[in-house]
Structure 1
Amino acid sequence: MPSAKDEHDSSYRRNIWNVFKLNNWILGLIGIWPVTIRGIGRHAYKIAIAVCNFTFSFALVPCALHIIYDQKDIIIRLKIGGLLIFGFAAMIKYCILAIRRPKIHRCIEYMKSDWWQVTFKSDRKVMLKFAAISRNLTMIGASFMYTAGIIYYLILIPFFFEHKVNNQTVRPLVFPIYSKFHQFQISPIYEIVYAAHCMCGYIIYSVTSGTYGLAALFATHACGQIEIIVSRLEDLLSGESWKQSSKIHQRIAAIVKDHVRVVRFTIVVEEVLQEVCLVEFISSICTICLLEYACIVDWQQDNKFGLATYSLFLVSFCFNLYILCYIGELLMEKSSHIGYICYMINWYQLSPKSTRSLILIIAIGSHPIKISAGGMVDLSLLTFGSVLKTSMAYLSFLRTLVM
């Protein structure tokens, strides 16, 4: 018969696997997710980071040269420009995540420690609920992103962008190449370049999905810890969710300790995500605007397949940005709820000394925890609305300028 310790270990390993598996799958292959490997394998992430950066450069630099020197059609320039902005933004985010990899590992260790220390079934149920929210948001966002990418890379590019120049068939590539590199049409060079572009696309979509997945993972975990603290506050007087031997001042001390731990965790999360969110915030405005413009152009040209693909990209971008802003809003709402609960409990039944101890919790709770874009813009649903409004304003200006 298994002991209580064995059951706890088994439950811990199962929960950790369920919580981290999606992020591990998305970020593990590109070297961002910390993996404990002994021996020479512990340097595998360095090789993955080097390969990914080389792939980014191999695909994006010739594409930028093509737009600058070769392409004269303004509409095609804008369509390719949206792809290029998306790619360079993903490259910058990838470099930031690679630099912040030790802090990502620190956040993961925070989470593992919280899961190891959980003892009450009600606490585990709360943590599993928020882990499921994170998993569902990541799964839906990644599904949209990868589906749009597969359609664009494997169907739209090979079958709809092929054309003839001087009676010679020009086979298309995902990222157009500068004309000076004319050897790419020769087999097997074309197949190798196309495969490298597809690999670059996979990395781009993995970085984008992984960024939102990390934000959802860390923010929802913090929300779960805050909800546990709130439940402790609500039972502060009755002591139903506490050890019966604990006294009021011990309960308050435990609440403050847990609250400080959550605040420290979110500070590290903010350090990991603030530059990534800033890049995402700026690039989303441009990318969403250009995708809207591409949809309008394909609508006018009756290009139904192109319209469907760009619309899927647009929905994917908007949904992923919504995820980022939603979890920022959720974190602010949950963290500000602590101060409210402190006031709403029957604090007047406590001794004056114990009551004074709640003042600090209320004071900290009046400054909700936030995730910001570079410390300049707080991520919230209001921010999401502002991004959409700004992209529409740029779209109106673009249509006036080009059409």
Structure 2
Amino acid sequence: MTNIRWKDDVSYAMIPFKLLTWPIGVWPLQVYNIYSLLRCIFATCCVSLMVILPSIELYTNCNNAEQNVDSLMLLCCGILGILKTVWFRIHAKNLTNNYNSALNDYLMIKNAKHRAIMRKHASTGRILCCFLMCFSYFSCLLYTIIPFLGNANNKINVTSEAMLQYTVPSRCALEYFNAPTSMHTILCLIEAISLTLTSTTNHGNDSLFFNITLHICGQVEVLKAKFIDFDVTRPQVYERFLTLIKRHSYLIRLARELADTISFILLISAFLSQLTLYSFVGDYLKSQMEEVGLCVYQNIWYDFPTKLTRNLIFVIMRSESPVTLRAGHFIVVNLSTYMSILKASITYLSVLRVMVET
């Protein structure tokens, strides 16, 4: 019965993210062999089309302003997707350690209350994943359909290169490479695949990171509950409390590995929607780490043995310097910094608007 429940919990918490990231070669629990490397290389090469084609479009400047904005957006998405995929492969050990720890957490959990906490955080991770991927794939579907509808509605000869539409703005780039117009449908489908992989490498990797970060937050919440409910009347008080202290140190180490993994990506992240989610998750992780010291203080620490009471000070002191997500190891990513970025962006936009109107 326990084994069945463990499989159900693991499937619920991890299967969606495995389906997203295994095809691009970054699933942490995969076997890192030549086949996973080939999947990663193939995905990276496909996504590189979303960097090459929009770059040529912007360089030739043969489109209108709307298409140039789309090209710039796709260029940024492609760069972020490639960097996330490569970076998660480079730091695969950090992600593997965290996901292996998550497997052990589901295997060892026995308390129904603690299991409910873990399921709640797993559910939040799935909701974030569903929101990101549904929105992303729906946008990809629209980009794929629009060229065929637009070309079908044209009353003039659609074989004219000047009137052909593609999945992404790439007409000038394909003309530069002398791509035949007879392959228009095939080229659109290739671009659609590349666009879908770009969404997967971008938002799929985000979902993978959010899921394991939320799991760590759930483990910290479980640890806080254990500190609050710590029973000093049971035997082996010192050994049991020392186990909780070691667990606290272990979770701090795992959180730091995650923070180190995402640090560089956060430094170059340019999309406000992604920064919003990273800020919320980062702020939640920071608050969970800070509250460990408060939960220790809320226990009946005055009844603890003297030798054990001295250790409480160190736990509280470690909670005063919580692990945080940082961009480039120096910019804290939480709601406070997010609001500062948002205020600065609105200020700049207001200034630009006044300059344009005058």
TM-score under structure 1 normalisation? 0.79
1:309 corresponds to = none
- Do structure 1's residue 118 and structure 2's residue 112 form an aligned pair? no
SS at match of 2:178: helix
For residues 113-145 of structure 1, the C-alpha deviation after alignment (integer angstroms, 9 at most, x for no partner) is 222222322222221121111111221222222
For residues 139-189 of structure 1, the C-alpha deviation after alignment (integer angstroms, 9 at most, x for no partner) is 12222222222223323x44348877999363212141426536334223x
2:222 corresponds to = 228
1:71 is displaced (CA, Å) by 2.4
Q: Which amino acid aligns with 1:187?
A: S
- Do structure 1's residue 268 and structure 2's residue 260 form an aligned pair? no
- What percentage of residue pairs aligned between the two structures are identical? 18
For residues 310-339 of structure 1, the C-alpha deviation after alignment (integer angstroms, 9 at most, x for no partner) is xxxxxxxx2x43222111111111110111
1:214 is displaced (CA, Å) by 2.1
Tell me the distance in 1 between the aligned counterparts of 2:179 and 2:352.
33
Q: Which amino acid aligns with 1:266?
A: A
Greater shift after overlay, 331-340 or 59-68?
59-68
Q: Which of 329, 332, 336 matches 1:378?
A: 332
Q: Which amino acid aligns with 2:100?
A: E
- Do structure 1's residue 103 and structure 2's residue 98 form an aligned pair? no
Give the direction of change, closer, same or farther, for the CA distance of 1:153–1:34 in structure 2 (3 Å limit). Answer: same
The answer for unaligned runs of 5 or more in structure 1 is 1-6, 289-317
Give the direction of change, closer, same or farther, for the CA distance of 1:399–1:68 in structure 2 (3 Å limit). Answer: farther
1:402 is displaced (CA, Å) by 6.8
SS at match of 2:116: helix
Q: Which amino acid aligns with 2:182?
A: S
- After TM superposition, the structure 1 = structure 2 runs for residues 13-32 of structure 1, keeping only pairs within 5 Å, are 13-32=7-26
1:376 is displaced (CA, Å) by 2.3
Kept after mapping to 2: 8 A contact 1:70/1:179:
no
Tell me the distance in 2 between the aligned counterparts of 1:371 and 1:325.
8
Aligned residue pairs, count: 352
Q: Which amino acid aligns with 2:49?
A: F
Tell me the distance in 1 between the aligned counterparts of 2:123 and 2:355.
46
2:164 corresponds to = 171
Say what the alpha-carbon RMSD is for the aligned residues.
2.7
Give the direction of change, closer, same or farther, for the CA distance of 1:59–1:350 in structure 2 (3 Å limit). Answer: closer
1:69 corresponds to = 60
SS at match of 2:230: coil
Give the direction of change, closer, same or farther, for the CA distance of 1:65–1:400 in structure 2 (3 Å limit). Answer: farther
Tell me the distance in 1 between the aligned counterparts of 2:64 and 2:124.
45
The answer for unaligned runs of 5 or more in structure 2 is none
1:365 is displaced (CA, Å) by 1.0
SS at match of 2:322: coil
SS at match of 2:179: helix
1:392 corresponds to = 346
2:73 corresponds to = 82
1:159 corresponds to = 149
Tell me the distance in 2 between the aligned counterparts of 1:166 and 1:139.
38
